[in-house]
Structure 1
Amino acid sequence: MKLGLVSFTARGRALGEHLVDGLSQSNQAELVLWDKSQISLKAFVADHFRSLDGFVFIGAIGIAVRLTAPYLESKAQDPAVVVLDEGGRYVIPILSGHLGGANHLARDIGRLIGAEPVITTSTDVHGIFAVDTWSQRQGCEILEIDRIKNISGALLDGQPVGLVSDFEIGGKLPEGLTPAVSGLVGICVSISEQKQPFEATLHIVPKCVTLGIGCRRGTDFEDLERFIIETLAEKDISLKAVSALHSIDLKKEEPCLLRFSETYGIPFKTFSAWELMDVQGTFERSAFVESITGVDNVCERSAMAADQGDRLGSGTEFDLVSDTEFGLVSDTEFGLVSDTEFGLVSDTEFNLGTDNESNLGTDSKFNLKTVISGVNADGAVANSRRLIITKHQTSGMTLAAAIEDWRCEF
């Protein structure tokens, strides 16, 4: 999160320095400080309002309101704005509490400096499910921002809110949410924008689709854009569901792909022919494409390719610390904590089996490819994606799409 920090007095600046140290050291935020000797405050806010994720003002709320008001557009676009008093007693989110993350930021700052967060959003005050906060936490896109109030209003009034999900539901549903196929007000979790199960349907689109693209050199951006949008519409897949655009590394500088990525804010990643050929699955093969690119199918394999680090690949090796000894007995289990650098989820267990050497010695290595859950016996990564659009081709462009095994988790 990138934040603008504004303070006016020596006491405010001291508090600001405390925030900079705390938020930076915890990797929670990168802060851009206003320097009145370099730029006016009005110009600072105007220049950064759309480029920063939020602002922290240390001073009067009225100043923050007057400075930010001219640039407000919608809760889907406005940055978080949080205000602290110079005494560090209260921290108050005043803009984009849910979607912008101001409430969460206020709580983080409160814990850091011992201030009391003053949260005024009704769902938080009453402990009611906040659909916009949940959607953001799940990495989803809300299509109808103006209908959030329908969901929150119904829940606050004690009225049932229906839920339709094309994905497996995990956890316990929040109070007030009820699985339903129709009704007055409800939430539809889907990669389709066309489903309307409720009279007032709030569509929540998980970002779980990866596009694999192949194209001729010099393809026009307008042609590529039309091809992608029309293909997705034909298959009833929202563009909002696309989390990444993949291709072969021969296309890493292709202008139309770079422009599409920038225009729609979709990350663009390329893979070598070797990496793509290592992707497991059944794909439509083209000897001609392979003779040119070194891979038999660019779009399908690209769509199915996982970013490096998503999972442990075949033949992954780990250098063990010099002279470290491991007593590896039969059925030894290791509970790996969440957020480890290897991406293994909390409480993941793996069995190192029998007959392992108890002393791995200096600079020893061992290969985990046959013991890590999710890796096939031949060492290939077990892919959690599946193709939902196989090779679709027109005028020198090809497209495929894969969907991740996403869960609607509460």
Structure 2
Amino acid sequence: MSNPYAIVAITKHGVEAARKLQEKLPGSDLYYMKKFEQGDEGERGIQLFEGSVRLILPDLFQRYTGIIQFISLGAVVRMIAPILQDKKTDPGVVVVDDRAQFAISVLSGHLGGANELTRIVADLLGATPVVTTASDVQKTIPVDLFGRQFGWQIESFERATPVSAAVVNEEPVVIVQESGEENWWSFDKPLPDHFRVVGSADEALELRTEWPWNAALVVTHRLLSTEQELALLANGVLYRPKNIVLGIGCNRGTSLEEIESVITDTLQELNFSPKSVRNIASIDLKKDEQGLLDLCAKYGWGFDTYTPAELNEVPLANPSDTVFKFTGAYGVSEPAARLSSGASEWVLEKRKSGNVTISVAIVPSSPITSQLAGGVATS
């Protein structure tokens, strides 16, 4: 199934409520017992089953990102217990009572999206949402979802649990933000006093002498030094924002391996993480360059291209007549990186290696929101 949600019901009243929910919830498939067949199931794409619902749950767990069950909470807990795998892969599970009075987030509230799905289902049914995740209840930072709306990637889940505990227990937590979107605080209240925001890893280490923090949330595209890593990640979580843009120029037919090697060496020299690469950028003559297409497919990167006229709008310190002769643009990698990133300057203006020319720019951070004012330690 291509739809993300499965709705399951096993009682008469549950089926009626489930049918109404499917009509209102886009991207949902409905399953219920054959004995409640009403004759329009084929037309509506409703799946009927016989026997215990327990038999179809393993398949639903594999095929859907969210499962809404009109079944008693205790029964659901017993049925799903043997098929649970991992919080990073298990679907979100929501339970609705037989009269559709309550929608309860049961499994994978954050990573699986059950908490948000619970609120959606409750709103559609006119039910009361029940969410017990501490960070949701307290309206604080959900460590395992921090920056997810911006595409930030967690480097490691190893310390997510103890760091989450520090957050919800209101222990001192330092937020190190060297890059990435800054408008992540979405609540209509100032950032609580047990958080401090600093602009660099070194500043966080200095802060610890006067404000002993117990945990750290680190947002950076930069590779940490050994000292910084030991201090910040002993009880911290590292997030990689998607803010590096690579301008690429290359000769026709340049292999994926050669382009990849130049990128790897360049990022290593700049001390940047490849996990923070958002996209590559080039001239539109390269939009079908197989090596670049293969590179983007391998890493899941975007690929922006620009016409020669667009590229020539970017002032260059060293325009190339040779490049202009073959492409109509006085430069490729440098202006493409600037245009795609929106940056006013380059981290690396241009470097040529073999058949590849590379430029690097960083996407500018958005202004920090006013709600943070109460908890910011300015740099």
- TM-score class, shorter-chain normalisation, is 0.7 to 0.9
Looking at secondary structure, tell me which structure has more helix per residue: 2
Answer whether contact 1:3 1:56 (CA < 8 A) is retained: no
Indicate the residue corresponding to 2:350 in structure 1. Answer: 391
CA deviation string 1:366-407 (max 9, x = no partner): xxxxxxxxxxxxxxxxx4554222222212112222222214
Indicate the residue corresponding to 2:254 in structure 1. Answer: 219
Indicate the residue corresponding to 1:72 in structure 2. Answer: 85
User: Unmatched 5+ residue regions in structure 2?
Assistant: 32-45, 50-54, 198-202, 209-213, 373-379
CA drift of 1:33 comes to 5.4
Amino acid at match of 1:99: L
How does 1:8-407 map onto structure 2 within 5 Å? 8-9=9-10, 12=14, 14-24=16-26, 30-31=27-28, 35-36=46-47, 41=56, 44-45=59-60, 48-49=63-64, 53-59=65-71, 62=75, 66=79, 70=83, 72-75=85-88, 77-167=89-179, 172-179=190-197, 181-182=204-205, 183=208, 184-194=214-224, 195-196=228-229, 197-198=231-232, 199-278=234-313, 280-282=314-316, 284-306=318-340, 383-384=342-343, 386-407=345-366
Distance 1:87 1:233, change over 3 A: farther
Distance 1:37 1:129, change over 3 A: closer
Indicate the residue corresponding to 1:334 in structure 2. Answer: none
Answer whether contact 2:95 2:105 (CA < 8 A) is retained: yes
CA drift of 1:11 comes to 5.1
- Does 2:7 align with 1:6? yes
Answer whether contact 1:385 1:403 (CA < 8 A) is retained: no
CA drift of 1:217 comes to 2.5
TM-score by length of 1: 0.67
Equivalent residue of 2:346, what SS? strand
Deviates more, 1:391-400 or 1:282-291: 282-291
Amino acid at match of 1:181: A
Partner Cα separation in structure 2 for residue 42 and residue 225 of structure 1 = 42
Amino acid at match of 2:6: L
Equivalent residue of 2:159, what SS? helix
Partner Cα separation in structure 2 for residue 406 and residue 156 of structure 1 = 27
CA RMSD of aligned residues (A): 3.4
Indicate the residue corresponding to 1:365 in structure 2. Answer: none
Equivalent residue of 1:305, what SS? helix
CA drift of 1:73 comes to 3.9
User: Unmatched 5+ residue regions in structure 1?
Assistant: 25-29, 308-382
Distance 1:7 1:157, change over 3 A: closer
Partner Cα separation in structure 1 for residue 312 and residue 133 of structure 2 = 51
% identity of equivalent residues: 28
Answer whether contact 2:94 2:104 (CA < 8 A) is retained: yes
Answer whether contact 1:83 1:93 (CA < 8 A) is retained: yes
Distance 1:141 1:177, change over 3 A: same
Higher relative contact order (CA 8 A, sep 6+): 2
Answer whether contact 2:223 2:273 (CA < 8 A) is retained: yes
Amino acid at match of 1:178: R
Partner Cα separation in structure 2 for residue 15 and residue 211 of structure 1 = 51
Deviates more, 1:136-145 or 1:165-174: 165-174
